[in-house]
Amino acid sequence: MNFFDAVFQGIIQGLTEFLPVSSSGHLAIYQHISGITENNLFFGVMLHIGTLAAVCAVYFKLIIRLFSSLVSVIKKLIKREFRYKELTGEENLALMIIVGLLPLFALFLPIPGTGMKIKDLADKFSLDGYFFIVGLALLATSMLLFFGGRKKPPVVLVKGKKMRRLRKRYSPADAVIVGFTQCAAAVFPGLSRSGSTLAASQFRGINKTTALDYSFLLGTPAILAAALLELKDVLFSEEGVKDVNFFYVLIGMVISAVVGFLAIKLFKWLLKTSRMYIFILYTAAVGLGVLLISIIELSSGVNIFTQQPLTF
C-alpha cells in the first residue's frame, strides 16, 4: 500500500458507508475488476473506525442525550415506573435503537448442513461466481429508494379528524423490521445499509428526516461491533499487525472520517431537497452493468477483467 492507496480507499469508504450506494457492493466490484481477493484487514477496521468518528461528530449532542435517556428508561424499569406511552421522544428513540439491534443476533445463526453462519454468506456472495448477486442487490437498493420515497403517509386521527401524516416515533414493530433490513444489508453486498433501512422506515410511515437519523444511529453500534470483531481476528491472527505502515493507516482514517462527515451532510441535504433520484438512477445503472458483466462471465466461465476462472 502507498499514500495514494490510503487516500483513495479512505475516500471510497467515507462516501459509500453513508451514501445509499453500498460500501460492500463497491468493494466487491473493485475486487472483481482488480482481481484482489485478500484485504488488509487491519486497515479496513481502522477505516470503519474513521467513519464512526464521522457519525459521532454529526450526532454528538444527540448521542449524549440518548445515553442520558437510556439511563432514564433503565431507572424507570428498576423503579417499576416504566410506561411505554409516557416515554419522551428521545427515551423512545434510545429504546427503539436497542430493539432495532436485536435482529443482528440472527446473523450468527448456523445454516443447517453447511457449517456456515448466516453472516458468512456475505463473503461467499463476494466471490467472482456470485457477482450477479451484487448486481441484483444494487437494483434492489434502487427500487427500495424509489418506492420508499413514494410511500403515502398513513391515515391518523388528529383532533378527531382523519389525516395523512408521517410519524416521528418508532414502535417496536418498526424497529424490528428496520433491524432485519439491516441484517439483510450485512449479508448481500450491493444492498445499501443506509438506503434500505431508510426505505424500510419510510414504508412504515416514518418521517424521512427521523428515518435517516435513526438509520445512522442504528448503524453506529452495528459498525462498532463489526469493527471490534474484525480487530479481534487481526490481533489474534499469525500475521497480527506486522509490516503495517501506521502513517498510511492514520491518513486513511482521517480521510474516511472527513469524507464520511461530508457524506452524511450531503445525504441529509439531498433527502431534504428531494434529490434522492440521483442515488436511484446511479444504483440502477451500476446494478444493470454488473448484471450484464455477470451474464457474459457465467457463459464463458472466466472473469473478463482478470481472465481467471470464476470462483464459487
**pLDDT attached to residue 48:** 81
C-alpha to C-alpha distances, 302 to 26, 29, 249, nearest whole angstrom:
20, 15, 34
Regions of the chain short of the pLDDT cut 70:
1, 36-42, 153-164, 233-234, 237-244
> Rounded to whole angstroms, how far apart are CA atoms 137 and 24?
11
Residue 33 lies in a domain: yes
Amino acid letter, 23: S
The angle subtended at Cα 188 by Cα 184 and Cα 193, nearest 5°, is: 60
Determine the pLDDT at residue 223. Answer: 81
- pTM of the entire predicted model: 0.88
pLDDT in tens, 272-310: 898 999 999 999 999 999 999 999 999 999 999 999 999
Q: Which pLDDT score is estimated for 164?
A: 63
Q: Residue 311: inside a domain, yes or no?
A: no
Find the helix packing angle between 41-58 and 60-78, rounded to 10°.
80
In a domain, 305, yes or no: no
121: in domain: yes
The parent domain of residue 87 ranges over 3-300
Flag whether 220 is in a domain. Answer: yes
Query: Is the distance from CB of 263 to CB of 125 less than 8 angstroms?
Result: no
C-alpha cell at 68: 442520558
Number of separate domains in the chain: 1
Q: Give the per-residue pLDDT at 153.
A: 67
In a domain, 307, yes or no: no
Residue 136's pLDDT is 97
243 part of a folded domain:
yes
Assigned domain for 310 exists: no
